[in-house]
Amino acid sequence: MIERIEALRAQGQDAVAAASTSEALEELRVRYLGRKAELPQMLRGVAQLPPDERGAVGRAANQARQALEALIDARAGELGAGELETQLREDTVDVTLPGAPVQPVGRMHVLTATQRLLEDIFLGLGFTVLEGPEVESVHYNFDALNHTPTHPARARTDTFYIERPQGPQPGSPEELVLRTHTSPMQIRAMEAHPPPLYVVIPGRVYRPDSDATHTPQFHQVEGLAVDEDITLADLKGTLLAFARATFGETREVRLRPHFFPFTEPSVEVDVSCFHCEGKGFLRDGTRCYLCKGEGWLEVLGAGEVDPNVYAYVPTTDHNAPGYDPEKVRGFAWGLGVERAAMLMYGVPDLRLLYANDLRFLEQFG
């Protein structure tokens, strides 16, 4: 018996050593260790042996079985690793093919992206964002912003009026217009909140102009800061921060005196040209097309809040103690989103912004 066991063990060892595939090895496992194989049969038959043989045979058979088992497992590990390697090699794909399925990518409109950027800049400077109605009363759009009753901007040639069959008489403060600027929200903001006030107001505005450089609707980001000690120098610093955040950190701003009914002093704000670094001409000596040789780009209008404007803000429970021009001062600006977007991205024609051609939209946002 013992001899047979040793023979089986030796035979098995040789066979396992010779097996070259996992498949062949599994056959050997069945042949030597399976239910009907000789070695397990012997183990089961140990009980029928004379008692003095049982111990030795049982031990030998058991050892042989364990040894073969261990051998087969080890060999299986060896073979498996090699086979997996081969199989993985065969599974190689062309990684340079496109991703699939294609994930469609969307885009935010360049005006939205630009407006967000501007909002974020002023959020970072401590301003909050307010929004307001696009149809405004003449009171908010003109009267409260210190436009004289005969100011030309009120004319039907310069402002869209809303038709109201039983509405107020022309010239009434209750007449409705499409707001011509985001500035009416200056008044609404002051009506709703006491000073100090630091807000920006993005939004769509309307004027009856339509040509290469005007669309009848466009977007502005209004700014308003009112506190007890605001100066024109603070306006300059705030807009310098905006200019550098938007157009590059080496930008400078210059304030040029101008006129707006609701600011005094009023200024136009130029930013040094980022295309020619404010020189007006390029390295090859040609005139800079962007600033037309001026070295400066006109970007927005601004000024110190005209004291008359505060007088239009009634003191209420919401904004107590109210806005007293001897006690508060402020600055305001109105910035064109289209202009900023066109400058930032080099968009040559305003009308592209509203054509919504996919070949344009896919380039931004």
Q: How far is the CB of 333 from Zn ion (least distance, A)?
A: 22
* Shorter beta-carbon distance to other proteins: residue 232 or 344: 232
Our finding on whether 212 is near other proteins (CB under 8 A) is no
Our finding on whether 289 is near other proteins (CB under 8 A) is no
Q: How far is the CB of 308 from other proteins (least distance, A)?
A: 8
How many chain residues bind other proteins (CB under 8 A)?
A: 92
Q: To the nearest 10°, the Cα dihedral for 260, 261, 263, 267?
A: 10
Q: Using CB under 8 A, which residues numbered 67 to 106 contact other proteins?
A: 97-106
Q: Using CB under 8 A, which residues numbered 149 to 168 contact other proteins?
A: 150-152, 155-157, 160-163, 166
* Shorter beta-carbon distance to other proteins: residue 69 or 119: 119
Cis geometry, peptide bond prior to residue 321 (ω within 30 degrees of 0)? yes
| Sole residue written with tokens 């400058």 | 343
Could you say which of Zn ion, other proteins, none residue 273 binds, taking C-beta under 5 to 8 angstroms by partner kind? Zn ion
Our finding on whether 240 is near other proteins (CB under 8 A) is yes
Q: What is the DSSP string of 248-309?
A: -TT--EEEEEEEETTEEEEEEEEEE-TTTTTSSB-TTSPBPTTTTTSSEEEEEEEEEEPHHH
310 within 8 A of 274, measured Cβ to Cβ = no
Could you say which of other proteins, Zn ion, none residue 338 binds, taking C-beta under 5 to 8 angstroms by partner kind? none
* Shorter beta-carbon distance to Zn ion: residue 143 or 270: 270
Burial of 236 per CB tally in 10 Å (0-12, 13-18, 19+): middle
Site string for other proteins, 17-56 (x = CB under 8 A): ----------------------------------------
Choice from 77, 168, 196, 314 touching other proteins (CB under 8 A): 196
Could you say which of Zn ion, other proteins, none residue 128 binds, taking C-beta under 5 to 8 angstroms by partner kind? other proteins
Our finding on whether 122 is near other proteins (CB under 8 A) is yes
| Sole residue written with tokens 């103690």 | 321
Residue 171 in tokens? 């010239």
* Shorter beta-carbon distance to other proteins: residue 75 or 179: 179
| Of the candidates 34, 35, 32, the residue with the CA atom closest to the CA atom of residue 4 | 32
Our finding on whether 268 is near other proteins (CB under 8 A) is yes
Choice from 32, 142, 198, 310 touching other proteins (CB under 8 A): 198
Q: How far is the CB of 283 from other proteins (least distance, A)?
A: 22
267 within 8 A of 240, measured Cβ to Cβ = no
Sheet holding 197-206, edge to edge: 128-129, 197-206, 217-227, 329-336, 296-305, 263-272, 253-260
Could you say which of other proteins, Zn ion, none residue 276 binds, taking C-beta under 5 to 8 angstroms by partner kind? Zn ion
Choice from 27, 38, 134, 277 touching other proteins (CB under 8 A): 134
Determine the Cα–Cα distance for residues 171 and 168; give it in Å rounded to an integer. Answer: 8
Could you say which of other proteins, Zn ion, none residue 173 binds, taking C-beta under 5 to 8 angstroms by partner kind? none
Residues in contact with Zn ion by CB under 5 A are 273, 275-276, 288, 290-291
Q: How far is the CB of 135 from other proteins (least distance, A)?
A: 6
Q: How far is the CB of 286 from Zn ion (least distance, A)?
A: 11
Determine the Cα–Cα distance for residues 140 and 132; give it in Å rounded to an integer. Answer: 11
| Of the candidates 84, 67, 92, 94, the residue with the CA atom closest to the CA atom of residue 8 | 67
Residue 164 in tokens? 């109201």
Choice from 34, 58, 307, 322 touching other proteins (CB under 8 A): 307
| Of the candidates 193, 157, 194, the residue with the CA atom closest to the CA atom of residue 177 | 157
Chain centre to alpha carbon of residue 117: 10
The stretch among 8-16, 49-57, 71-79, 144-152 that binds other proteins (CB under 8 A) is 144-152
Residue 36 in tokens? 């009907």
| Close Cβ partners of 214 (under 8 Å, ≥ 6 residues apart) | 207, 350
* Shorter beta-carbon distance to other proteins: residue 44 or 164: 164
Choice from 9, 12, 61, 127 touching other proteins (CB under 8 A): 127
